[in-house]
Amino acid sequence: MALGRGAGRCRASTSRGQIRHARLAGRSIDRPVAACRHPGCRAGDEARTKLERQGLPVKSTRTTGSWPSPRTSRMFGHLPRWTGNSLALIEEGARLGPVFSLQLWRPAVVGYSPDWNRLVLGDAAGFRSGGSLSQLSPYLSGGVVALDAPAHRGRRALMNPAFHRRDIAARFAEPLQELIDRSMPSGDFDASQWSSALMQNMIQEVFVGKSFPEKVLHNFLKPLDTPMPGPLLRRPFKIRRMQSALRTALNEADPTTLAPLFGSLEGGVEEARVAIAAAYDTTAHTLAFALWELAARPDLRVPELAESVVQETLRLYPAGWIGSRVATNDTEFKGRTIPAGMLILYSPYLTHRDPELWRNPLHFSPERFSDPLPPWGYIPFSAGERTCLGAALASLTLQTAVKAFADRSLTRVNGDGSPRGGLTLAPKGPLVLTRGS
């Protein structure tokens, strides 16, 4: 869904107290402005009263100040909608304005403008990771993801060089090319399943070496392929087995992989486990979306366009669709106070679909990447000090795979490529394609 930034904000001529209907992607929607708080705006009050009469109170709690908020149930806040269809919920919030509040298990403020992204991502000490959403999943609650300033910076300084674009290309371009060449499907295949299997092989190749027990890796990663709450459930047995296999791999330290790096770090076993989890479904889902789009657009299947096809896939379907922090101190934003301790969400998904930043945002058009990018408006790998550690590795893997599909026909058989928000953004699927021989 395209977002009309401020579409839910009052544009009414309040003199007559009319409720103007919000505009969404160029069409009228029959929902009135829900929570306008422009001084003296009767439209907002009327809208609120109407919604409340329907039993859908519009919340505005003291803790979240007066940010507008999507409709919610009195008893459970936004949690049922968050778990049921989180994308529809944040899209509704985005129509109310560039910052809106949610009542999850705790109050949260969500924003998606470049200014918001700069505020939240540009200040690692002021917006910390501890206590944020990533801590809810055993897959992400550890290693560098769980560190905050000042320890975070030191840990990244130890890891960044090995993940630098130049080093990643020098070490892994060839093995990845060979892996992808051997894995190419022919005939009918499911793009999600194929991409996930390829990523498991990529992880062996790059992180731990071919002698790593495949079954342990597969069992460890499998819950990441399941819908919520699968990736949030504690998995002590799977995690113990993975950690034990990783301990062996890091001791053996295959020099053609990143195992020596992880082996040299204090807490390297946990660090490797979290990096592998962070690498897996993000890259697999991005590749699945890319293949689905490529199958519909033969004109894009040329090696020279691989980079912009990957960039555009990451824009329209950013695997890290929502990110979170906790405010360390009271902070001012656009004249309002965000209180210390507040859960702060930023959303690459909403930013990348904002028509104020992107022309025709729902259209898949890699050509747009020949123009300059909006500052703080393209953040598929986040930005600032916590920028994705594996951005270069993911980009190399994705571009190599996309190029490999330039050689023969690729067509859609059936499926549903629309996105679903879980721990990462995934295609609803299935995504059945056929590759010509």
Is the Cα dihedral 41, 92, 317, 131 positive or negative?
A: positive
The site for ligand HEM, by CB under 6 A, has a size of 22
Is residue 386 involved in binding ligand HEM (CB under 6 A)? yes
Q: How far apart are CA 101 and CA 339, in angstroms?
A: 13
What torsion do the CA atoms of 80, 82, 86, 89 make, to the nearest 10 degrees? 80
Is residue 402 involved in binding ligand HEM (CB under 6 A)? no
Binding to ligand HEM (CB under 6 A): which residues in 107-166? Answer: 144-145, 156
> Taking contact as CB under 6 A, which single stretch among the options 232-240, 328-336, 379-387, 405-413 is the one that binds ligand HEM?
379-387
Binding to ligand HEM (CB under 6 A): which residues in 285-314? Answer: 286
Specify whether the backbone of 286 is left (phi greater than 0), alpha (psi in -120 to 50) or beta: alpha
Residue 2, number of CB atoms within 10 A of its CB: 17
Is residue 381 involved in binding ligand HEM (CB under 6 A)? yes
Is residue 343 involved in binding ligand HEM (CB under 6 A)? no
Is residue 390 involved in binding ligand HEM (CB under 6 A)? yes
> Taking contact as CB under 6 A, which single stretch among the options 77-85, 221-229, 316-324, 352-360 is the one that binds ligand HEM?
316-324
Q: Which of 44, 323, 361, 366 binds ligand HEM (CB under 6 A)?
A: 323
Binding to ligand HEM (CB under 6 A): which residues in 39-78? Answer: none
202-234 in b/e burial notation, b at 16+ Cβ within 10 A?
bbbbbbbbeebbeebbeebbebbbeebeebbee
Binding to ligand HEM (CB under 6 A): which residues in 175-234? Answer: none
Please name the residue ranges forming H helices in 211-347.
214-221, 236-252, 259-264, 268-296, 306-316
User: CA angle 190-388-255, nearest 5°?
Assistant: 80
At 360, list the tokens. 């025709």
Q: How far is the CB of 205 from ligand HEM (least distance, A)?
A: 12
Nearer to ligand HEM, 57 or 263 (CB): 263
> Taking contact as CB under 6 A, which single stretch among the options 5-13, 54-62, 350-358, 388-396 is the one that binds ligand HEM?
388-396
Closest CA to 145 of 305, 385, 315, 342: 385
Is residue 315 involved in binding ligand HEM (CB under 6 A)? no
> Taking contact as CB under 6 A, which single stretch among the options 28-36, 170-178, 212-220, 389-397 is the one that binds ligand HEM?
389-397
Residues that bind ligand HEM (CB under 6 A): 144-145, 156, 275, 278-279, 282-283, 286, 318-320, 323, 380-382, 386, 388-390, 393-394
